[in-house]
Structure 1
Amino acid sequence: MRAITIAEPGGPDVLTWCEVPDPQPGPGEVVVDVRATAVNRADLLQRQGHYPPPPGASAYPGLECSGVVSATGPDVAGVRVGDQVCALLAGGGYAERAAVPAGLPVPAGVDLVDAAALPEVACTVWSNVVQVTRLAAGETLLVHGGGSGIGTFAIQLGAALGATVVATARAAKHERLRELGADLLVDYREQDFVEEVRRATDGRGADVVLDIMGASYLGRNVAALAADGRLVVIGMQGGRKGELDLGALLTKRGTVAATALRSRPLGQKAAIVRGVREQVWPLVEAGRVRPVIDRRLPITEAAQAHRLVESNEHVGKVLLTVG
């Protein structure tokens, strides 16, 4: 088979479509003939040499895919050859075939290719917004990076759960994000999201903040929290190290959490996938949450796809189609 490989750390042009060995399914795994995969920030970091795959994972980039089951490994139940599935991976999605954990059927009403946009964002957002912060109806959710794959999914899920959703994004993306369910859009280049959140909540602040920025937003995120608010950090685009005002956090009885999905033990990932299948897939099948696709590109144009994601000009996911 062929896959995208990374010969050495570097820019998008180090991505090479070449012959590699076929994958073999392990216990609880199936082999999928991949129809599509999606570009995630982790793929860019891996290409640059900053985010190696966890031990035992495929060396090829790609944290999710969709396709058709062509073989099953030991201890697989409920999945058969010919089934359409999508999957959360620790690596290996940029390929013609991938060995993946069994567990996620393509939701009814979703195109097989578009389904590749769902596993990583659904598992990331659900595990943080529902499991970690326990967002409730009537609360205010602040989503940073509203135009990203994570952001577009979080906006929809927050709205479906009955929350008021505030999102930060470039002004050019505001109309699209409002259509997805955002109640308030903040242009982070021109506006102070702390002031805008306070104004929109009569001074209360956000009950939950989903943050992809990390260090550069840490102080302002705490300032934006409501009493008993919960901040969960899932990315470090703004740096690794920041200063935390514990006095401000104590005064608000606030909580700060940080999570990663790719490196979780398999048992934790399996539990998250079950939760997504039980709680999120019905929302997808009802049309209340949908994959948001900026564009589809052939996998041979993976370098161009990486440039697009690096530019931050996209809204939603950029997909790579196979075959």
Structure 2
Amino acid sequence: MGSRGNSVLAVVFLLLFAGNVEVIGQSSGLRVGFYSRSCRNVEPIVRGVVQRFLGRDRTVTAALLRLFFHDCFGCDASLLLNSTRTNRSEKEHGANGSVRGYDLIDAAKAEVERQCRGVVSCADIVALATRDSIALAGGPDYPVPTGRRDGRISIVNDADVLPDPNSNANGAIQAFANKGLTPQDLVLLLGAHTVGITHCGFFRHRLFNFRGTGRADPSMDPALVRQLQRACTSDSVEVFLDQGTPFRVDKVFFDQLVSNRAILIIDQQLRVEQRTDDIVRALANGTLNFNAAFAQSMTNMGNLDVLTGTRGEIRRVCSAVN
């Protein structure tokens, strides 16, 4: 994430129709096929690693999406850096405590290094691996512009910009706007909860004592309330955010939002604000194509505050600067 401010590089322009995605522009310094000469097998190598991990653990998609999201409020792989004796890194921030997938990125980096030493950044491997996990989980298989370089700075307080799970709609919209992302990006990127998991402690108040009333949140579907009350025997119990297709990247999550079956406050808040509710409804009824729109918003996020050219470095290992 680093300390580079909130400027946003020009976003990849996408031609979207019939669910297909074709890149017709590029972000400054990034382009599809950046490694076509220097490491032409990088994408199949990374996809092979993702496929191997996903075959053992179907929650890999959710893990990588979370890792990508938390790093890409500035996509420079700073989240991957370990703390040192003199510095606490972003990994130490409470919001990043449950982030995982580092082992997959390390495995992919090691395989890439064996073929193309010192060429491919950890930041690009994160972006490619996340795309591959989405595609392998039934979501869009979109082109990823590459050419990112890795940051050398990772400071724990830089993670303070991440939205809170209990943010209201306006707060979430503003947090995304501060990074140059639109309300549509907010809706689509929260749509990554289609494969998400959360702990009961993050929403227990909605089930038993909403706003101090001693009752459940009246905006939540009563059948879902009863189901979750039975399941949430402790704050540590995990539940799927998508109760229909929890391992598939699809629009079912938005169908559930329309039916008042959102579990997290930040998700339900998308229905409260007109600017986001219209987008949720368009995704649910199919007038806005989920695969195309999701791919575009993932690309938009992947272009935030990237390092290119001679800035940053190409790390030899993802957890430490060279």
1 or 2, which has the higher helix percentage? 2
Name the one with the larger strand percent: 1
TM-score by length of 2: 0.26
